[in-house]
Structure 1
Amino acid sequence: MTSTDRTGSTDTADDRDGGAAGAQRVSCTIRDGVADVRLERPDKRNALDPAMFTALARTGERLHADPSVRAVVLSGAGRSFCAGLDVAAFGEMATGEHDLPGTDERADGLHGPATALGQRAAHVWTRLPVPVIAALHGHAYGGGLQIALGADVRLAAPDTRLSVMEIDWGLVPDMTGTQVLPELVGRDVAKELTFTGRIVEAEEAGRLGLVTRVVDEPVAEALRLAADVASRNPDAIREAKRLLDLAGRVGLEEGFAAEQTAIRRLIGSPNQAEAVRAKLDGRAPTFTDPS
């Protein structure tokens, strides 16, 4: 695999977004096919404001368009992954001054059924064709939890606390959470968490399926896992994610047919042949990124 090291950031906090001019909300570094994406509002525990919503959606869009990206790690700078919506927004709701993040009018088809900007900030990670690994620590509350639910894998530090906290503010999850959460933890558990907003510690979250694993150093482990994924046939990884995302959402006939289409596409392809040769030779493979 070719080694690349590129650093970029999404800077969307301007007067239109409601943030301080020039403030960076999300950083993104790409190295050896792994995109290291970080929420960058540590003084606010990465609380969500219009600028953060926009930065998350735009960063995901940019990664979707980059064929060199083979895996993504999503984490938060500072003390928490993301503590949810900025508290200032809730104060505005009490006075009737706050409105929801607007709809992104760009009809690029990337975001599928997610039309509201808040939904896109979470759903864009699901829509990426490559695996997304969320590294959680501190707080993952409300909208922060919903962003994490957009990842394929969630690794949580032992100090992580998670909550479907919208009910505490008289609200419901509106960033895709009501549709995604039941699939992970079951409908009854999803209802209990949503009705009560109770805080779930990392160990329980692992038992419930809210997180994949509890690890001491989630960012380091996520980067290690992403590097492993990035070393595999990128065509097979993309097909695997697509097929697994179909499971339970389409009938078996369609799912089985999709498997056969994928395997026929892979067998004998340049990257699959390289995987076989490298395995037989006992060497690291050199794959070509999708065009």
Structure 2
Amino acid sequence: MFDGVDPDRVTVAVSGGVADVRLARPDKRNALDPAMFSSLVHAAEGLRTLSGVRAVVLSGDGPDFCAGLDFTAFAAMRSGERMSSQVSLPPADGPAKATGQRAAFTWAQVPVPVIAAIRGNALGGGLQIALGADIRIVAPDASMGVLEVRWGLIPDMTGSQLLPELVGRDVAKDLALTGRRISGEEAVRIGLATRTAEDPLAAALEMAREIAGHNPFAVRAAKRLLDGAGRQDLETGFAAEQDEIGALIGSPNQVEAVTARFEKRDPVFVDP
């Protein structure tokens, strides 16, 4: 669907306003190699401007979400080589500049909600990709962990900055400094995941379809505001809130939302 996306690494299918994005390397537990990094970035970049997309579901084919870096990358590190040197990408337009950072954070830059559906392993870089999502629905027995310290490394795919926002600084240190694995149930308890589901993909698709039924301008505005909360001062945040509500009230989609509720029918919205 998008230039630069290798279908042997990532697939994208759009239906009913929902983009179903899947890491497509199940025989390797969806491990990250140069083609996977490149495909993740190009897929998210393409979705940022694709008309008609109102929500995104990000998951992995097979039993795992993503088990982290391909083992060949660790072997190459012994000679000082970085996998990112093998990936050619267009210039970045946000705070994430390194290839690994972009593969994770570019999902946060998609203007519509991104829901990660996680089962099996979400480890190391795989977990950090999930941090780029707005919502994480996990299987109770999923295995999640910040494993980089076990390889003599640190989480360098935005994890050092985004993880503390979710779980707090002390819990983030617990995870990053021990490299311990946690279950999906514990991930929810500590705030790393949103909720559990026996079938995370089905639950994520159901949520995405529900979101896709709302005013897409309101959904995007809510994501912008909530992403800014805690990252800017209150005066700026309150002013942004008023700017967003001012643009929504009386707009065609907002009028349609009200009219449809009074008429007890499904609304028909215009996409950005």
Match of 1:122 in 2: 104
Is it true that 1:101 corresponds to 2:84 in the alignment?
A: yes
The correspondence for 1:276, drawn from 237, 258, 261, is: 258
How far 1:100 sits from its partner (Å)?
3.8
1:154 counterpart SS class? strand
Match of 1:213 in 2: 195
Match of 1:49 in 2: 33
Distance in 2 (alpha carbons) for counterparts of 1:163 and 1:282: 46
Encode CA deviations 1:206-245: one digit per residue, 9 max, x unaligned.
Answer: 1001110011010000000000000000000000000000
Match of 2:177 in 1: 195
2:2·2:46 contact (CA, 8 Å) conserved in 1?
A: no
Q: Specify whether residues 286 and 145 from structure 1 end up closer, same or farther in structure 2 by C-alpha distance, changes over 3 A only.
A: same
Distance in 2 (alpha carbons) for counterparts of 1:246 and 1:93: 36
Is it true that 1:34 corresponds to 2:34 in the alignment?
A: no
Is it true that 1:252 corresponds to 2:238 in the alignment?
A: no
Q: Percent identity?
A: 57
Q: Specify whether residues 201 and 10 from structure 1 end up closer, same or farther in structure 2 by C-alpha distance, changes over 3 A only.
A: farther
- Any unmatched runs of 5+ in structure 1? 1-7, 14-22
1:10·1:24 contact (CA, 8 Å) conserved in 2?
A: no
The correspondence for 2:9, drawn from 22, 25, 30, is: 25
The correspondence for 1:170, drawn from 133, 137, 152, is: 152
Distance in 1 (alpha carbons) for counterparts of 2:195 and 2:90: 36
Encode CA deviations 1:14-53: one digit per residue, 9 max, x unaligned.
Answer: xxxxxxxxx6100000001000000000000000001000
The correspondence for 2:139, drawn from 142, 157, 177, is: 157
* TM-score, with structure 2 as normaliser: 0.96
Distance in 2 (alpha carbons) for counterparts of 1:228 and 1:194: 35
Distance in 2 (alpha carbons) for counterparts of 1:11 and 1:87: 23
Match of 2:163 in 1: 181
How far 1:106 sits from its partner (Å)?
2.6
AA partner of residue 131 (structure 2) = L
How far 1:97 sits from its partner (Å)?
5.3
1:104·1:115 contact (CA, 8 Å) conserved in 2?
A: no
1:85 counterpart SS class? coil
Per mean C-alpha deviation after superposition, the further-off stretch among 69-78 and 85-94 is 85-94
Distance in 2 (alpha carbons) for counterparts of 1:156 and 1:275: 32
